[in-house]
Chains A and B, each alone.
Chain A
Amino acid sequence: EVQLLESGGVLVQPGGSLRLSCAASGFTFGSYAMTWVRQAPGKGLEWVSTISGSGGSTHYADSVKGRFTISRDNPKNTLYLQMNSLRAGDTAVYYCAVWSGPFDYWGQGTLVTVSS
Chain B
Amino acid sequence: EIVLTQSPATLSLSPGERATLSCRASQSVSSYLAWYQQKSGQAPRLLIYGASNRATGIPARFSGSGSGTDFTLTISSLEPEDYAVYYCQHRSNWPLWTFGQGTRVEIK
Contacts and interface: CB of A to CB of B under 8 A. Distances in A.
Interface stretch (B11-19, B47-55, B72-80): B47-55
A101 B43 contact: no
B102 interface: yes
B99 A47 contact: yes
Q: How large is the interface on B (under 10, 10 to 19, 20 to 34, 35 or more residues)?
A: 20 to 34
B95 A50 contact: yes
Interface string B94-108: 011111111000000
Interface residues of A, number: 17
Interface of B is mostly: loop
B46 interface: yes
Contact of B53 (A35, A46, A102): A102
B49 A44 contact: no
A64 interface: no
A59 B99 CA distance: 16
Interface of B: 34, 36, 38, 43-44, 46, 49-50, 53, 55-56, 87, 89, 91, 95-102
Interface of A: 33, 35, 44-47, 50, 59, 95, 99, 101-102, 104, 106-109
24 contacts: A33-B95, A35-B95, A44-B87, A44-B99, A44-B102, A45-B36, A45-B87, A45-B99, A45-B102, A46-B99, A47-B95, A47-B96, A47-B97, A50-B95, A50-B97, A59-B95, A59-B96, A99-B34, A101-B50, A102-B46, A102-B55, A104-B34, A106-B43, A109-B43
